[in-house]
Amino acid sequence: MTALKSLTAISLAFLGSTFLLTAAQPGKDAEPKDAPKKAICVLTPTKDSKVSGTVTFTSKNGAIEITGEITGLAPGQHGFHVHEFGNLSSSDGMATGGHFNPDGEKHGGPHASERHVGDLGNIEADAVGKATLKMTDKLIQLHGKHSIIGRGLIVHAKADDLKTQPTGDAGGRVAQGVIGVAKAP
């Protein structure tokens, strides 16, 4: 009987550890049924800027699809980041804090193995200053530890070089917004 109890305990311990190992994925929380499926951010100009736009974040197949349109930009690339705080109380965008980085990683590009959660790389403005966004990111989420809900979204004056620590040397902040839950399609 003692051997049977020991075998049962070992079997339960093995099954429990197998469940924990297969369920755990770094940076990804199991998506609750009531987790948001869509978020939106309305970008407004910072002081002395004319940049504005709307960006949506939609949960699709374990990733977040990012779409939108931003106008009033200088032609070329501009750093595009999720920042720590959804605080728009400063006209220069600095109240949004630094890049959203809950894992304490170094700054990098959106496809780098090491990067801030908020490092979304660059957006490209055409000759008339309009950037049309359509990208997918697998690190940001709309729930859990990597949730961007309630965080700031910043468009920078310059391109992110994807390497300079801790910000990518992307220059000043030309537009800011807070990412909020949106009605799912």
Q: Is 116 a catalytic residue?
A: yes
Q: Catalytic: which of 81, 115, 146, 151?
A: 81
Q: Is 111 a catalytic residue?
A: no
Q: Which of 130, 131, 122, 123 lies closest to 162 in space, CA to CA?
A: 122
Q: Catalytic: which of 83, 115, 146, 151?
A: 83
Q: What is the full DSSP assignment across 31-50?
A: --TTS-SEEEEEEEE-TT--
Q: Catalytic: which of 78, 99, 115, 151?
A: 99
Q: Is 119 a catalytic residue?
A: yes
Q: Catalytic: which of 78, 115, 151, 173?
A: 173
Q: Is 173 a catalytic residue?
A: yes
Strand intervals (E) in 13-172: 38-45, 52-60, 63-71, 76-83, 119-125, 131-137, 152-156
Q: Is 146 a catalytic residue?
A: no
Q: Is 107 a catalytic residue?
A: yes
Q: Catalytic: which of 119, 137, 151, 160?
A: 119
Q: Is 78 a catalytic residue?
A: no
Question: What sign does the CA torsion over 126, 88, 64, 108 have?
Answer: positive
Query: Does residue 60 contact residue 135 with C-beta atoms inside 8 Å?
Result: no
Q: What share of the chain is helix, strand, coil (3-state, %, to 5)?
A: 15, 35, 50
Q: Which residues contact 77 (CB under 8 A, 6 or more apart)?
A: 122, 123, 124, 125, 158, 159, 160
Give the residue numbers annotated as catalytic, written as ranges: 81, 83, 99, 107, 116, 119, 156, 173
